[in-house]
A = this chain, B = another copy of it.
C-alpha cells in the first residue's frame, strides 16, 4: 500500500528516489488514533507535526460560547501545521473525525527534509499555499453564498480533493461526518444543514445513504454551487522554477560572504 502523503507531494514536485526514501523514513512511525481525539490542542506548543495517512481529521477552533468552528479538513495524505514550530502556540486544535492512522514527525525532521531536499521543500510550500487558498475560498463562501450553495460547494471540494488521492468510487465517496460537524464547517445551524441537505436531495443533486454520498450529476452540482476548482491548484506546476536553489548553490554563495 502506497503512502498517500508521498503520492500527493509527487503531484507538486518531481521527487527523486532519494527524496522518496527520506519521506518514507520520516513517515515510518505510524500511530493509530481513535475517532474524536485531539492530535493537537489549542494552546499547545507541540514538538511533532502530524500527517494523516488514513481517516479524516479537522482543524477547529473552540469558541468562547462553547461552540466549535471547523476551519479545515485533513484527508488522507494531508499534513497539518508542518511549520507550526515557528509560532509560539497553536490557536486551534486538530482533532480526528474518524479513527486515523497518522505519522508523527518531529519538527526537526521536517526542517531537515526541507533543507536537504529542494523538491520536498517546494511541495511543502505548495501545500501551505493551497491550504491558504482553500481558507480564502471558504471565507468567500461563508460570507457570500447561501447556505445550500455553500454546502454544495463543500461537497464538490471534498469530492475533488478525495479524487486526487484516489479514495473515491465513481461518483460516490464516504463523507464520515455528522450534520452537526457540517454545520460547524459551514457556519450554519445543524437544523438548517438538515433542511439544506434535504433540498439538495429533493433537487436530485445529491443522494445520501448513511455516510456515503453519491452525486448523480457532477456538472449539475458544480453549476449549482458555482464551483470552480482553480483555487485547489491541482494542475502540477513542476515546469516552473523551483523556489529554492539546490544546496550546492547556496553553499557556493555563502562561501563568498564575509
A residues touching B (Cβ–Cβ < 8 Å)? 18, 59, 61, 63-64, 67, 69, 71, 83-89, 91-92, 108, 111-112, 114-116, 122, 125-126, 128-133, 135-140, 142-144, 186-188, 226, 230-231, 233, 235, 237, 240-241, 243-245, 247, 250-251, 253-254, 257-258
Give chain B residues whose Cβ lies under 8 Å from the Cβ of A237: 86-88
Additional A-B contacts beyond A89-B230, A92-B136, A142-B142 (14; CB < 8 A): A69-B144, A71-B136, A83-B129, A87-B129, A87-B130, A111-B244, A115-B244, A116-B257, A128-B128, A128-B132, A135-B139, A139-B142, A144-B187, A247-B250
The 5 closest A-B CB pairs, nearest first, are A143-B187, A69-B140, A91-B231, A135-B135, A142-B142
Residues of B within 8 A of A116 (CB): 250, 253-254, 257
Counting every copy of the chain, the complex holds 2
Contact assessment for A125 and B88 in the assembled complex, using a CB-CB cutoff below 8 Å: no
Give Cα A84 to B126, complex, Å: 9
- Minimal beta-carbon separation of A256 from chain B (angstroms): 10
Question: Which residues on B sit within 8 Å (CB–CB) of A63?
Answer: 140, 144
Give, as a whole number of angstroms, the nearest-CB distance from A161 to chain B: 16
